[in-house]
Amino acid sequence: MSTESDTPLLDELEKGPFPSFVSEIKKAAAKNKMALDELKQLEKSYRDKRGYWKHGGIVGIRGYGSGIIGRHSSLPQEFPGVADFHTVRVNSVSGFFYTSDSLRQICDIWDRHGSGLLNMHGSTGDIILLGTSTEKLEPVFAEFSSRGWDLGGSGSSLRTPSCCIGPARCEWANIDTLDIIYNLTQEFQDEMHRPAFPYKFKIKAAGCAVDCIGAIARADCSIIGTWRGHIVVDQSAVAEYAKQGMDIQAEIVNLCPTGCMVYDGRELYINDEDCSRCMHCISRMTKALRPAGEKGATILIGSKAPFVIGATLSWVLVPFMKLEPPYDEFKALLKKIWEYWDEHGKNRERLGELVIRRGMREFLEFVGVKPSPQQVKEPRRDPFFYWKDEDFRRQ
Amino acid sequence: MDKEELKKRIFELVEKSVGKKKLKSSDIQKIISADTGVARDYVKSALRNLVDDGTLIYTYFGGSFVEIPSKE
């Protein structure tokens, strides 16, 4: 009996201490032909150093323009199990909270209709179900839909909004990220399911600047919880941290991005006016420091992965906005942003790229937000704001 | 304008563009709204009806477009 593996290159990815996606595909392949052919095609891709997937096209659910990503093998004769291998995006739950029953429900449906492979979660935040055939799409959707699930966003649409765990399990959340994302998802169903934007648009909400959801690096519009007030310092807890061996000068004060802190060896002082609410000190000294005052969010725009102009991080649009149900102020701002993008955006141009191309000034005038120092993207470099001659004329 | 008439105008626009230019949903809304003078939301609603009944479909080719389904 031969001991030679059919997938020697993929086997390499099972070595080492980390969980391996190859092991998981092999488990699925033992009982599912699609997963088996997926494994074989992947091995061939590794061997030939090229991909064998084509994507896009016309597959979808009737009435929906997003949620299904058509995927086809370019070697259907060799790997018939993956001739069609469409991805289904299911709208995730705010904060990614599931009961084990709901997870079993998702897996059972997918075992019946797809490859059995899934990805929790994709970078957009959806539950990504990998691999089904065209004729199975409507039945899959019917099963999910009848149990209260819906498709997520894909293509040139609003992508499924996502958020951190927020106040459900985190004492530092300055905003109710879960409610905000649920509310926005319900409000903008049309924008999610019927693509009408120049390109994709992502919204992510983080409860504080620690940004566990990675909003600042991934979302066209980031909502990041903050506060307007000071940081309460418990000096006895500060002393306890020092006693436990924390080098407060090196680990806290020297790493403060605005240099707003002083430590005299006994007590910690914070100049709140210079604080940028980055959360570094608070997240390191959770027992000693606590934000106090009015809670709200900073609204940022523009981050994206590399495409036309390379990766960009978000920058501030609104330094502070009260975010309370029904979030009308934020929704009105979002609609103005989309209107501007719709008016001036080129096909496949992300919002950030558009604003960089045309300038922050025009954008601010259009959306009705006043210029403020916090919007300066990179201090001491490009001010990111184009002045007109009349700005310099004496009134 | 009557909604059925509007739907007809939308379909004709998409039909005319076949083989020339793929139209996005927003392109259709802008063009029809400008041509007929009706509000974009109304055009959007008519377009939605056409997609819901399968007369038009969304496609994805490096961006999302609205097209006539193939007869196959």
Model confidence band, residue A388 (pLDDT cutoffs 50, 70, 90): confident
Q: What is the mean pLDDT of the segment spanning A145-173? A: 96
- A383 CB contacts (<8 Å, ≥6 apart)? A376
Residue range A299-350, pLDDT digits in tens? 999 998 877 778 889 999 999 999 999 999 999 999 999 999 999 999 999 9
Smallest CA–CA distance, residue A98 to chain B, in Å, is 31
- Residue A150 sits at φ, ψ, to 5 deg, of -140, 165
- CA B41, CA B29: separation in Å to the nearest integer? 8
Per-residue pLDDT, B72: 62
Average per-residue pLDDT for chain B = 93
| Domains assigned to chain B | 3-67 (1.10.10.10)
Contact between B10 and B43 (Cβ < 8 Å): yes
- % of chain A residues with pLDDT over 70: 98
* Last residue in a domain, options A146, A173, A201: A146
Token pair 């190859």 in the structure block, residue: A22
- CA A301, CA A360: separation in Å to the nearest integer? 11
* Last residue in a domain, options A243, A273, A291: A291
- CA A367, CA A377: separation in Å to the nearest integer? 18
Order of strands across the sheet with A68-69? Answer: A68-69, A87-90, A127-130, A117-120
Question: Residue B24, Cβ neighbours under 10 Å: how many?
Answer: 21
Q: What is the mean pLDDT of the segment spanning A207-225? A: 97
The token pair that represents A86 in the structure block? 């469409």
For residues A57 and A109, state if they share a domain. Answer: yes
A-chain residues near B63 (CB < 8 A): 155-156, 198-199, 347-348
Whether the CB of A157 is below 8 Å from some CB of chain B: the reply is yes
pLDDT at residue B11 tops 70: yes
- Residue A114 sits at φ, ψ, to 5 deg, of -135, -160
- CA A90, CA A149: separation in Å to the nearest integer? 7
- CA A304, CA A356: separation in Å to the nearest integer? 13
Q: What is the CATH number of the domain that holds A279?
A: 3.30.70.20
For residues A385 and A363, state if they share a domain. Answer: yes
Domain that holds residue A328: 162-227+296-392
Q: What is the mean pLDDT of the segment spanning A115-122? A: 92
Total number of domains in chain A: 3
Contact between A302 and A312 (Cβ < 8 Å): yes
* Last residue in a domain, options A250, A275, A291: A291
For residues A249 and A371, state if they share a domain. Answer: no
Model confidence band, residue B1 (pLDDT cutoffs 50, 70, 90): confident
Report which DSSP code applies to A299. Answer: E
Per-residue pLDDT, A391: 82
Q: Assess if residue A77 is contained within a domain.
A: yes
Q: What is the mean pLDDT of the segment spanning A167-190? A: 97
Per-residue pLDDT, A382: 67
In this complex, do B24 and A156 lie within 8 Å of one another by their Cβ atoms? Answer: yes
Whether the CB of A69 is below 8 Å from some CB of chain B: the reply is yes
pLDDT at residue A168 tops 90: yes
Residue of A311, A314, A312 whose CA lies nearest to A299: A314
Residue of A232, A237, A231 whose CA lies nearest to A276: A231
Whether the CB of A58 is below 8 Å from some CB of chain B: the reply is yes
For residues A173 and A305, state if they share a domain. Answer: yes
Q: What is the mean pLDDT of the segment spanning A14-18? A: 93
For residues A223 and A344, state if they share a domain. Answer: yes
Residue of A368, A367, A365 whose CA lies nearest to A385: A365
